[in-house]
Chain A
Amino acid sequence: MSDQTSQRPGRSATTRSVTTPSKYVSLRNWEVLGTAVFNIFVFTLLIVYLFPMLYMLTTSFMEGYQLGDRNAPIYPSRQTDFEYDGKARKIYTVPFGDETRELALVSPGRKSSEFIDPQNPEAGLITWEGNWRQLIGVYEFHATWDNFSILFRALRLPQMLRNTLLLALITEVGVLFSSIVVAYGFARFPLPGGDLLFYLLIATILIPEKVTLIPTYFIYARVLGWDGTWLPIMLPFFFGNAIYIFLLRQNFKSIPKDLDEAAMLDGAGPIRTLFSVVLPQSWPVVITVSLLHFFFMWNETRQAALYLSTRRDLSPISFGIQNFQSLAPIQNQLQASALLIMIVPVLILIFSQRHFMRNLIITGSEG
């Protein structure tokens, strides 16, 4: 088919447009069906892709004993109780021949156990032959906040959160201001050596961290005595960040120069032109870059591990929670800490999705 039509493209176009109405209707049905199948496929893929997150979400609301119970459902739950004789009795699914009944266990035994029917307790005890341990319980939904309150007691979460927010805020101001100014320089001004400096900027993105780390660590920690402070983490950001500069420059270049030139004709200097003319047209990319930086700082643990391991009170939240693993190796608490630490960036991403996602996508088409 493809060979035939490619020989005579003009004719195939005409045959396509002349379709009988009935054929056209079936074609539309195919379209609808195709769209449905396609969306179901993408949605299934999404669930599979995020499956460990569903595990994390449900486990973080579970009580510890549910983890040990292999018959428990996947959602946070507990075994349903029935109060009988002043005590809470657990309800099990008990088989009697072909049918099963939901009964509360009163006195367990290895060979036979006695149950009571919660629907009809007056009927008295029912004896069932068999090992009660093989019975499957009846569960009801039950979520608990305990894991989170344990975390709040075990970790100084407010302090760690404050540290992260402070670090993010201070470096945000520094990195945005310097990157914007530098990107403006790269976007609008001739530079000695032509594009050479710009290629150098791109190259610095690719330099492995370790090759610069050894002397800088020695200077920071041993010469300047900045071990246990935020200074080594914050300082480099005040000199701009290559990838942000790159993103901002791409955007500044796409803004027409006319308005800049008009402002300059009116006697505005480069910095004033940047902030009164160029920047107001670039808010989307500036916000995108600041969100990228926030995510970066929120997740930062490398530098913190180097300089803050002796000062737990200055530790940002990701680093603090990383150390929590050794304190409490219980899955439900670990999952609760995972939820706690990811909820902020995820919520920010979801609230800013229209903006953030669109601008990164646009960056892709320009890059």
Chain B
Amino acid sequence: MKTTKRRQTRFRLRYDKTTGLLLISPWLIGFVLFKLLPILASFGLSLTDFHMLKPEETSFIGLANYVRLFQDEAIGYLIAFTLNSAIRTVPLQLAASIFLAALLSNPRLKAPTMTRTLFFVPSIIPGVAIAFMWYGFMDPATGWLNRFILPFFGLAGFNDMYSDAAAAFLYSISSLWAIGPGMLIMLGAMQSISSEINEAARVDGAGPLVRFFRITLPMVTPAIFFTLIINLIAVFGGVILLDRGNTFRGGGVPFDRYITYWMFEQWDLGYAAGLAWFFFVIVMIVIIALFSSSRRWVYFPDRES
């Protein structure tokens, strides 16, 4: 009796904060080295006129980079573009992943695993392959779009691959090829809804549409929230779960490209750091706004009890 008690106290000592800290220390060190310090260093750099090729001539210039940023005409355009691409892709991706998840979680589906996998395939292939395929597919002379699909619907062929409209269309349509993770997570959430709830609603006379909008959708709001975050981060050029590299010409989102331009073509790291910090603050504001709004529309089962 006495020995077990002693043993138990010794065992309890093991589950302590020191061991915990020790175990998570690789991440903690990585966090400090690769995230925290660089973010702070970026802020420090943004207060200077640091130049890649002549770091020794650096001087402190205060908020001058930020003043310059607010006078930079490109910024307004970049924000508008980012907003525009968010509007063009995120709702489309959300709707498509909810719709597909609803289809693929239906018990009537034959060969469910294979079908789901095939719908998932476009989300794991490299951006390079996606760019080649879509550019080829839409190629005015040899692509299938002009040769078979548009004529089939009696539409005129489309000729200017490199127009803004074509780029916008390509961007929206190819964003549908990135919905895999969100779709699977929603599928998981839909499958975990207990069939009793649905059955009860069915007995009460709720049709499939009513059940979908009144039961399924509210219960998968956590998955919708997660998908929303993934897709938004992708609009800002970030990566969650699956990266495909830069898909189309030039690569990356315009904000990223603008920062890259100041970094690698002008070597003006001070201004590039200012831009990066500005961008960072915007992203963080959007994410904090989303997380605080989530209390109102995301269903958390834990919070109810």
Q: Which residues on A are within 8 Å of B, measured CB to CB? A: 1-2, 4-6, 9, 12-13, 16, 34-35, 38-39, 41-43, 45-46, 49-53, 55-56, 59, 67-68, 70, 74, 178-179, 181-182, 184-186, 188-192, 197, 200-201, 204-218, 222, 236, 238-240, 242-243, 245, 261, 264-265, 269-270, 292, 295-296, 298-302, 305, 318-319, 321-322, 325, 331, 334-335, 337-339, 341-342, 345-346, 349-350, 353-354, 357-358, 360-367
Contacts and interface: CB of A to CB of B under 8 A. Distances in A.
Interface centre among A49, A292, A335 (most CB of B within 10 A): A49
Nearest to A204: B35
A87 B191 CA distance: 65
B242 A292 contact: yes
A240 B239 CA distance: 16
Contacts of A243: 240-241
A38 B109 contact: yes
B121 A296 contact: no
Contact of B148 (A12, A74, A208, A353): A74
B188 A363 contact: yes
A39 B128 contact: no
Interface string B241-257: 11111100001100110
Contact of B24 (A197, A305, A364): A197
Given A265-B7, A295-B124, A215 B184 contact: no
Contact of A50 (B35, B122, B184): B122
Interface stretch (B38-46, B71-79, B158-166): B38-46
B205 A1 contact: yes
Interface stretch (B61-69, B87-95, B273-281): B273-281
A4 B103 CA distance: 29
Most chain B CB neighbours (cut-off 10 Å) among A181, A206, A301: A206
B167 interface: no
B80 interface: no
Contacts, number: 336
A210 B113 contact: no
Contacts of A222: 52, 55
7 contacts: A56-B133, A74-B144, A182-B27, A210-B237, A331-B136, A338-B128, A345-B124
A218 B113 CA distance: 46
B38 A335 contact: no
Q: Enumerate the 9 nearest inter-chain pairs by beta-carbon distance, A residue then B residue, closest first.
A: A364-B188, A239-B30, A185-B23, A189-B20, A5-B205, A301-B245, A365-B192, A364-B185, A215-B41
B142 A331 contact: yes
Interface in B152-179: 176
Interface string B1-16: 0000001100100111
A208 B280 contact: yes
Q: Which of B24, B39, B276 has the most CB of A within 10 A?
A: B24
Contact of B27 (A9, A245, A354): A245
B164 to A, nearest CB: 21
B132 A337 contact: yes
Nearest to B114: A353
A361 B17 contact: no
B186 interface: yes
A264 B14 contact: yes
B297 interface: no
Given A182-B26, A214-B38, A298-B126, 6 more contacts: A39-B110, A205-B233, A212-B39, A215-B273, A319-B245, A331-B143
B212 interface: no
A39 B109 contact: yes
B35 A353 contact: no
Contacts of A59: 136, 142
B299 interface: no
Contact of A56 (B21, B136, B176, B251): B136
Nearest to A57: B133
A214 B42 contact: yes
Q: How large is the interface on B (under 10, 10 to 19, 20 to 34, 35 or more residues)?
A: 35 or more
Contacts of A362: 188
A324 to B, nearest CB: 8
Contacts of B24: 182, 185-186, 191, 197
B295 interface: no
B34 A216 contact: yes
A47 to B, nearest CB: 10
A239 B269 CA distance: 27
Nearest to A215: B41
Contacts of B186: 364
B188 A365 contact: yes
Given A211-B42, A301-B246, A354-B113, A206 B283 contact: yes
B238 interface: yes
A192 B128 contact: no
B188 A346 contact: no
A178 B142 contact: no
Nearest to A336: B132
Contacts of A301: 126-128, 245-246, 251
B124 A270 contact: no
A357 B144 contact: no
Given A67-B142, A74-B148, A239-B33, A218 B238 contact: no
A222 B287 CA distance: 33
A50 B118 contact: yes
Contact of A270 (B23, B142, B273): B23
B260 to A, nearest CB: 8
Given A12-B203, A208-B238, A335-B133, A214 B276 contact: yes
B67 to A, nearest CB: 19
Contacts of B187: 361, 364
A54 B118 CA distance: 13
Contacts of A242: 27
B189 A341 contact: no
B210 interface: yes
Contact of A45 (B39, B103, B256): B103
